[in-house]
């Protein structure tokens, strides 16, 4: 996890420098102090998560942070669901038929679309 925070910090530094802005400018935009901005860029894990998230938003406002962990992008849970379907189909068929590859990209993306639709219907 610490390595991921360090990579995040490096990406924040690159984005800020590519924009030609100082730490102080970014700190003002984010409503944090310049020393906190410096700690973010060092990858300090004790900085509040909200400060890192605000940096990510400043870099990619259109990207939508919630999409990073949207149900359709949660590949680990999608793989578990595919395994459950595969296990159920295997039991009901009794092994006499060749089953489709439930982990194929088209099946996984279909499951992702169904999950996204069901999440939207809950709203």
pLDDT tens by residue, 3-22? 999 999 999 999 999 999 99
The answer to whether residues 47 and 36 touch, using CB atoms and an 8 Å cutoff, is yes
Q: How far apart are CA 76 and CA 89, in angstroms?
A: 20
The answer to whether residues 34 and 63 touch, using CB atoms and an 8 Å cutoff, is no
Q: How far apart are CA 32 and CA 23, in angstroms?
A: 10
For 50, other C-beta atoms within 10 Å of its C-beta total 10
| Tens-place pLDDT, residues 86-119 | 888 877 555 555 545 555 566 666 666 666 665 5
Tokens of 19: 């924009």
pLDDT, position 15: 93
Enumerate long-range contacts of 13-22, CB under 8 Å, 24 or more apart. 13/41, 15/59, 16/41
Quick one: what percent of the chain has pLDDT higher than 90?
A: 41
Q: How far apart are CA 103 and CA 78, in angstroms?
A: 9
């Amino acid at each position: 996890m610490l390595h991921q925070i360090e990579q995040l910090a490096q990406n924040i530094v690159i984005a800020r420098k590519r924009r030609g802005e100082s730490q102080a400018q970014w700190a003002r935009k984010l409503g944090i102090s310049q020393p906190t901005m410096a700690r973010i860029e060092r990858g300090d894990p004790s900085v509040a998560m909200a400060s890192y998230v605000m940096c990510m938003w400043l870099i990619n406002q259109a990207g939508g942070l919630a999409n990073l962990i949207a149900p359709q992008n949660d590949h680990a849970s999608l793989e578990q669901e595919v395994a459950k379907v595969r296990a159920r189909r295997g039991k009901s068929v009794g092994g006499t038929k060749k089953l489709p590859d439930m982990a194929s990209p088209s099946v996984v993306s279909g499951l992702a679309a169904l999950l996204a639709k069901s999440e939207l219907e809950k709203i």
